[in-house]
Amino acid sequence: MDSQRIEAAGSGRRRFLWFTGLGALGTAGAGGAAVMLDFVHPKVLFEPPSSFRVGRPESFPVNSVTADYARKVYLVRTEVGFFALSAVCTHLGCITRHVEEEGAIFCPCHGSKFAVDGSLLMGPATRGLRRIAIRLEDGELVVDSELEVEKDAVLRV
């Protein structure tokens, strides 16, 4: 009688250890599979295209600065024509802000100040805002934020 109890208790313990081990193996296997799947999944950084349409020339008043903070550019129309500026500060890369009342562009991070033609008015930045490429395509202005142009380049429309 006692030996039957001992055998039954041993069988129950064996079963418990068997299922615990199986559970641990299953958990480890699932974790390993998740790591492998993450490893083989491509890590691609999708960035928006650097070239984009901003609108028809007639939709921008003469002597205006139009900010597109989502795309980090300013579109400036003067009496001569159009040019585009990168809104990225040349000091440490903060996004600048155009202040209409001041007629200037300010960096909120360390206080650099730029004229609306992009030239540097006050540091700590050591150079003006980058003037970037702009062209007319199918009657619309197209800006390429990755293509820097001469600082006096103007698109005459």
Question: Least CB distance from residue 99 to ligand FES, whole Å?
Answer: 14
Question: Least CB distance from residue 105 to ligand FES, whole Å?
Answer: 10
Closest by CA to 76, choosing from 40, 32, 129, 23, is 129
Q: How many CA atoms lie within 13 A of 46 on its CB side?
A: 1
Stretch that binds ligand FES, among 23-31, 75-83, 88-96, 114-122 (CB under 6 A): 88-96
Task: Give the residues across from 55 on adjacent strands.
Answer: 141
Q: How many CA atoms lie within 13 A of 98 on its CB side?
A: 21
116 binds ligand FES (CB under 6 A): no
Instruction: Name the residue type at position 43.
Output: K
| # chain residues binding ligand FES, by CB under 6 A | 11
Report the run of H or E that residue 7 belongs to, with start and end.
Answer: helix 2-40
Nearer to ligand FES, 77 or 131 (CB): 131
Nearer to ligand FES, 109 or 147 (CB): 109
Contact positions toward ligand FES, by CB under 6 A?
89, 91-92, 94, 107, 109-112, 124-125
